[in-house]
Amino acid sequence: MNKSQKISVIVFPGTNCEHDTKYAFDMLGQDVELVWYEEETLPSDTYLVVIPGGFSYGDYLRAGSIAKFAPIMKDVIRFANSGGYVLGICNGFQVLLESGLLPGAMKRNQNVHFISKHHFLKVESNKNKFLSELENGDLLNIPIAHAEGNYYIDDKGLGSLIENGQVVLTYVDKNGNDLNPNGAVNNIAGISNVNKNVFGLMPHPERAMEEILGSSDGVKMLEGFIR
């Protein structure tokens, strides 16, 4: 594993997974800093930006739609566009979609209910930093907790995602068969941008770091950034 690197975790009003995320990267021996949304610049030695889960600004209007205007997001966008690694988890994924750093949009879950449970994922593409410690076809048992996790993109956009290997994770059952909890197009649970430096997923790998919590499958996911 590489020496400690600076992981900057963004905190908005309503974020509630920042300490889970910090704990996860602390476990992996990294230097983690919580960055308040009113800051205008990221720490200069930032290697990875993580936008964690929660309910930024109470999910008013729609999830992530107000957070994209926060002062820190200008520098997050600059960082991403210059090739820096960015990971959005759950509400963080929604923020990245609203900010235009990832394509597509989120809708309410198909059943209109908040979902909170463990769910299996399948690795669809490991040709990226995030999932480089895993193999295509690997199954991961990771918690989900969302009300707006129904990922949508039009047919043209979906074709581009598939062609470019941007679909990185899909929802499946324990045997690897499609099992969609929220109505997401093509069972999509996680995607990347074209350049493979920005990633978003609805499931919570930071909540799957220890077997006592039900799974440690999140370890290899997050380790990909630091090996």
Please state the three-class secondary structure of 82-138 as a single string: CCCEEEEECHHHHHHHHCCCCCCEEECCCCCCCEEEEEEEEECCCCCCCCCCCCCCC
Q: What percent of the chain has pLDDT over 70?
A: 99
| pLDDT, position 4 | 76
| pLDDT, position 3 | 66
Report domain extents, the chain.
6-223
Catalytic site residues?
90, 204, 206
Q: Express each pLDDT in 95-144 by its tens digit.
A: 999 999 999 999 999 999 999 999 999 999 999 999 999 999 999 999 99
* Paired tokens of 112: 């209109």
Could you give the maximum distance between any two Cα atoms of the chain, in Å? Answer: 46
* Paired tokens of 219: 């370890």
Please provide the DSSP assignment of 24-63 as one string.
HHHHTT-EEEEEETT-SS--TTEEEEEE--B-GGGG-SST
Assign domain 6-223 to its CATH superfamily: Class I glutamine amidotransferase (GATase) domain (3.40.50.880)
Residue 227: band (very low, low, confident or very high) from pLDDT cuts 50, 70, 90 = confident
